Amino acid sequence: MELEQEINKVLKSRTPTKVADIQLEIETNQAHINHVQLKKLREIHDEMFQEQCYLPAKRLYEKYNEKLLPYSGLQSWAERIDRDIRVIEATIEMVNEGRRNAD
């Protein structure tokens, strides 16, 4: 019974300990990191991303977009070229078959 009272006394004690002080300091530091330092880090990262990735890509797009407008039907051109190549391949195959049959 006496041991149980002593354990409860220790567990329910409101006296600050070194461990409690360190834990409070850690929690305070974590809050500062999350609310202040992490916010600054995100802002710096966003600015660097803008400067190093987004803006150069945007400049390239703006520079070459006008030059590529006449070729805007690139997909249709690719389809035509693909069709023409298939016709040429079929023609070559027919010529080769004709030669084999002639021999």
* Residue-range definition of the domain harbouring residue 33: 13-71
* 18 shares its domain with 66: yes
What is the C-alpha separation between 73 and 65, in angstroms, rounded?
A: 13
Q: Does the predicted model carry a pTM greater than 0.85?
A: no
The DSSP code for 85 is: H
Do residues 64 and 81 share a domain?
no
Tokens 């409860």 found at: 8
- Look at the chain and report how many structural domains it folds into: 2
Q: Do 45 and 78 have their domain in common?
A: no
Contacts of 77 (CB under 8 A, 6+ apart): 71
Q: How far apart are CA 91 and CA 97, in angstroms?
A: 10
User: Do residues 71 and 77 make contact, with C-beta atoms less than 8 angstroms apart?
Assistant: yes
Per-residue pLDDT of the chain (103 residues; tens, 9 = 90+): 788 888 888 777 777 788 888 888 999 999 889 888 989 988 998 898 888 888 998 898 888 877 776 666 777 788 889 999 999 999 999 999 888 887 6
